[in-house]
């Protein structure tokens, strides 16, 4: 089980690297008006989303489900954690929609909006890690 948990945590870190960095790229992309920068951001965002964030998300969930269903974990903390993970998956998919908007030069949101958007995963990370380590209920 410890190998499964180790891989679960490793891919969770990978996923969060993307969840923290992609919206930051959106902040700078939204502030850019020269073509060279805009095209560079498009390449960085696409590689980050499909090359790091998506595999990180899928493997975090695969090893998490393996821990849950394979080793019989249960409790209120796990239900609350799964609800927050569902919200995180929604945020991940929203990033995919924003990625497509930028790809087609149809983003209408400003950099301030993305700065606030960028903070949301921090709240989820605090809540999920406290739930799974402290198991308050
Ligand atoms: C469907 C998604 C997920 C499921 C089913 C799941 C399930 C689990 C289970 C059953 C454990 C073992 C708990 C224990 O050993 O006490 C665990 C450990 C852990 N999970 Fe998840 N998890 C999921 C997603 C996540 C996400 C998104 C994060 C990060 C935000 C996360 C962070 C952790 C951490 C840090 C541990 C290690 C806790 C410890 O060793 O005390 N998990 N997970």
**Count of CA atoms in the C-beta half-sphere (13 A) of 130:** 9
- Residues 112 and 116: their CA atoms lie apart, in Å, by 7
CA distances to 38, 49, 72, 124 from 29, in Å: 6, 15, 45, 24
Ligand 1 within 6 A of CB of 115: no
* pLDDT tens, per residue, the chain with 137 residues: 899 999 999 999 999 999 999 999 999 999 999 999 999 999 999 999 999 999 999 999 999 999 998 887 889 999 999 999 999 999 999 999 999 999 999 999 999 999 999 999 999 999 999 999 999 99
Pocket test for ligand 1, best of 1, 8, 73 (most atoms within 8 A of CB): 8
Nearest-CA residue for atom 19 of ligand 1: 132
Q: What is the pLDDT of residue 73?
A: 82
What is this structure's pTM?
Answer: 0.93
Q: Which of 81, 123, 134, 135 to mutate to test the pocket of ligand 1 (most atoms within 8 A of CB)?
A: 81
- HSE at residue 103, side-chain half, CA atoms within 13 A, is 12
Q: Cβ neighbours of residue 30 under 8 Å, at least 6 residues apart? A: 107, 109, 110, 111, 113, 114
Mean of pLDDT over the chain: 97
- Angle 2-31/54-71 helices, nearest 10 degrees? 150
- Could you give phi then psi for residue 119, rounded to 5 degrees? -80, -20
Whether 26 and 45 have beta carbons less than 8 Å apart is answered as yes
DSSP class of residue 119?
A: H
């Amino acid at each position: 089980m410890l190998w499964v948990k180790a891989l679960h945590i490793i891919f969770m870190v990978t996923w969060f690297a993307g969840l923290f960095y992609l919206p930051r790229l959106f902040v700078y992309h939204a502030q850019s008006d020269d073509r060279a920068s805009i095209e560079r951001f498009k390449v960085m965002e696409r590689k980050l989303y499909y090359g790091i964030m998506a595999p990180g998300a899928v493997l975090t969930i695969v090893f998490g489900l393996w821990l849950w269903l394979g080793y019989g974990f249960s409790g209120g903390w796990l239900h609350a954690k799964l609800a927050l993970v569902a919200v995180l998956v929604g945020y991940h998919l929203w990033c995919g929609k924003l990625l497509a908007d930028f790809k087609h030069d149809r983003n209408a949101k400003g950099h301030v909006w993305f700065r606030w958007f960028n903070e949301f995963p921090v709240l989820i990370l605090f809540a999920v890690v406290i739930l799974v380590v402290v198991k308050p209920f």
